[in-house]
Amino acid sequence: MINKVILVGNVGADPEVRYINADLPTARIRLATTETYTDSKTGQRVDKTEWHSITVWRGLAKTVEQYVKKGMQLYVEGKITTRSYEKDGATHYTTEIVANEIKFLGRKSDNQSNGSSAQAAPTQAPPAAAPQANSAPAPEPFPAPEDAPADDLPF
């Protein structure tokens, strides 16, 4: 089974960042994706916007906190999840995307790191303190299997 979501859209508001504890940040991003089509009856061009709730954890949440701002264009890759919660005696359900990769898109003037990306390493523990200038570099994410298909996306 595969649960994979890829979105390209614009950030609707600055990220909301919370720390579960000192070493466990989480961030929430509201991302808008817009589909444009021509209405067959009227011939008018129609824009349909969907809003997505994106959740990121650990190091990726720190990157989001530092660099993501309202209006930025992002490429987001992750999985779709649905969870429930109780409020006022009623059960509510919410669907969100848990992101494991984010790439900054758009012009350099919009995103200072055009084409750069941030990726979460699934088993990597967050650092205990901010890295020092002369500290060792962070470990690389796990490599893709040799038989994995090539990524043919243009970005």
Give the integer Cα–Cα distance in Å for 96 and 87: 18
pLDDT at 146 over 70: no
Give the integer Cα–Cα distance in Å for 106 and 113: 9
Domain map of the chain by residue range?
A: 5-38+47-115
Question: pLDDT, tens digit, for every residue of 48-85?
Answer: 999 999 999 999 999 999 999 999 999 999 999 999 99
Higher pLDDT, 47 or 147: 47
Beta bridge partners of 30: 53
Give the integer Cα–Cα distance in Å for 52 and 59: 21
CATH of domain 5-38+47-115: 2.40.50.140
SS (H, E, C) 88-123: CCEEEEEEEEEEEEEEEECCCCCCCCCCCEEECCCC
**Which segments within 22-145 are labelled E, that is strand?**
24-38, 45-57, 73-87, 90-105, 117-119
- pTM over the 0.85 mark: no
Contacts of residue 17, Cβ cutoff 8 Å, sequence gap at least 6? 25, 26, 27, 28, 61, 64, 65
Confidence at residue 89, expressed as pLDDT on a 0 to 100 scale: 93
Question: pLDDT, tens digit, for every residue of 80-139?
Answer: 999 999 999 999 999 999 999 999 997 544 445 445 556 554 433 333 333 343 434 444
Question: pLDDT, tens digit, for every residue of 8-34?
Answer: 999 999 999 999 998 899 999 999 999
